[in-house]
């Protein structure tokens, strides 16, 4: 497996194998994003639109590929300078075959040959990866985790996903779907998780979808996670109960994760995190430090994503760059 911090390490250690630009595509439950990323991780263009997953995979892929073409057109980069396409999407995936198996936040997108369709659309090599794993790669290579050896990335948005770096390398698990940190159990007899159908998952308490659902159940009506956080900040009693339960669940889940992996860095990203910042991170950081095993709690810094809204496309690009470089090493 290629070390993410040096994905282009050829015999002389030069940067000659690095692709000049990569098109990164990110398929989320709420948004599609595309961007052109250079070999230093700089985003040359970034475009986004709603996923509209209910339209189905055919229309969804058509819109995704149109968005990718638009990203290249707006980047000022010639197509001849685009060496590969990276795609991040919610799991489970078959990354070897490049197939979306049955992502819960994209209902109806079952057994979609995404990599093959993208290769057909762009005429370029395509790398498909779990979106949170890709985001972890982006943060480790270009963002908050640069220079670290042990890092955990957790994205909190429509759902909750995770990526893990151990000894400087991505952990993917036996089938390539390892690191589903959103499905760490925080309450054995808890809320139903819409993502997997089981009870008590972290995602069932801290995702934007879950926060909104719990607020509605508390009598707040149809509100967003950001609105719940804002209401809690000014002392709304119902919002405060929902928000404190969110903090409790996230601190519980992260404490287990920190105890298990003892990372030096935990990076939190996604819309819920970017929309609330230290209102979420501050109390969670304190709780994890207090409740984790002493050596693990002291070792782990908990920070917000440095790549922000670009993390999905930068991460997808990092994966494609890694695999392209590996191919050059193997074939050269």
Answer yes or no: is pLDDT of 277 > 50. yes
Question: Measured between alpha carbons, how far is 312 from 138 in angstroms, rounded to an integer?
Answer: 8
Give pLDDT, residue 104.
85
Q: What is the pLDDT of residues 180-226, one digit of tens each?
A: 999 999 999 999 998 889 999 999 999 999 999 999 999 999 999 99
Q: Please list the alpha-helical segments (H only) found in 208-277.
A: 208-217, 225-233, 237-261, 271-276
* Beta carbons of 22 and 85 less than 8 angstroms apart: yes
Through-space distance between the first and last CA atoms of the chain, rounded to whole angstroms: 17
Tell me what the mean pLDDT of segment 281-286 comes to: 98
Q: What angle do CA 28, 52, 270 make, to 5 degrees?
A: 25
- Tell me the backbone φ, ψ of residue 57, rounded to 5 degrees: -70, -35
Give pLDDT, residue 325.
65
Give me the residues paired with residue 192 across strands: 199
Question: Measured between alpha carbons, how far is 18 from 325 in angstroms, rounded to an integer?
Answer: 6
**Could you write out the DSSP letters of every residue in 100-116?**
E---TTSTT--SB-HHH
Question: Measured between alpha carbons, how far is 324 from 331 in angstroms, rounded to an integer?
Answer: 10
pTM of the model: 0.89
**282-285 — which CB contacts under 8 Å span 24+ positions?**
283/247, 283/251, 284/247, 284/250, 284/251, 284/254
Q: What is the pLDDT of residues 71-119, one digit of tens each?
A: 999 999 999 999 999 999 988 999 999 999 988 888 889 999 999 999 9
Q: What angle do CA 8, 138, 320 make, to 5 degrees?
A: 50
Q: What is the pLDDT of residues 285-312, one digit of tens each?
A: 999 999 999 999 999 999 999 999 999 9
How confident is residue 20, by pLDDT bands cut at 50, 70 and 90?
confident
Query: In terms of Cα–Cα distance, which of 167, 150, 160, 141 is closest to 320?
Result: 141
Q: In the chain, what are the domains?
A: 21-136+310-331 (3.30.420.40), 146-305 (3.30.420.40)
**At a CB cut-off of 8 Å and minimum separation 6, what does 197 contact?**
none
How confident is residue 10, by pLDDT bands cut at 50, 70 and 90?
very low
Of the chain, the percentage scoring pLDDT greater than 90 comes to 83
- Tell me the backbone φ, ψ of residue 324, rounded to 5 degrees: -65, -45
How confident is residue 157, by pLDDT bands cut at 50, 70 and 90?
very high
């Amino acid at each position: 497996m290629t070390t993410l911090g040096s994905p282009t390490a050829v015999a002389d250690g030069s940067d000659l194998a690095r692709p000049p630009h990569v098109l990164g595509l990110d398929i989320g439950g709420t948004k599609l994003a595309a961007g052109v990323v250079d070999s230093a991780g700089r985003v040359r263009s970034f475009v986004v639109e709603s996923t509209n997953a209910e339209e189905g995979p055919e229309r969804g892929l058509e819109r995704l590929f149109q968005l990718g073409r638009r990203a290249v057109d707006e980047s000022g980069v010639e197509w001849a300078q685009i060496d590969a396409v990276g795609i991040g999407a919610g799991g489970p995936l078959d990354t070897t075959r490049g197939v979306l198996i049955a992502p819960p936040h994209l209902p109806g997108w079952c057994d979609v040959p995404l990599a093959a369709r993208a290769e057909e659309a762009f005429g370029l090599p395509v790398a498909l990866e779990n979106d949170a794993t890709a985001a972890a790669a982006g943060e480790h290579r270009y963002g908050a985790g640069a220079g670290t050896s042990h890092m955990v990335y957790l994205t909190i948005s429509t759902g909750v996903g995770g990526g893990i770096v151990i000894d400087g390398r991505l952990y993917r698990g036996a089938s390539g779907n390892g690191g589903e940190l959103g499905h760490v159990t925080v309450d054995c007899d808890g809320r139903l998780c819409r993502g997997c159908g089981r009870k008590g998952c972290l995602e069932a308490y801290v995702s934007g979808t879950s926060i909104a659902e719990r607020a509605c159940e508390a009598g707040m009506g149809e509100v967003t996670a950001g609105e719940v956080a804002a209401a809690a900040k000014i002392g709304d009693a119902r919002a405060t109960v929902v928000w404190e339960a969110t903090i409790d669940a996230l601190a519980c889940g992260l404490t287990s994760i920190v105890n298990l992996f003892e990372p030096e860095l935990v990076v939190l990203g996604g819309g819920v995190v970017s929309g609330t910042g230290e209102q979420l991170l501050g109390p969670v950081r304190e709780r994890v430090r207090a409740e984790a095993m002493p050596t693990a709690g002291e070792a782990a810094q908990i920070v917000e994503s440095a790549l922000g809204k670009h993390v999905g496309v930068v991460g997808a690009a990092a994966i494609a760059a890694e695999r392209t470089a590996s191919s050059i090493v193997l074939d050269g």
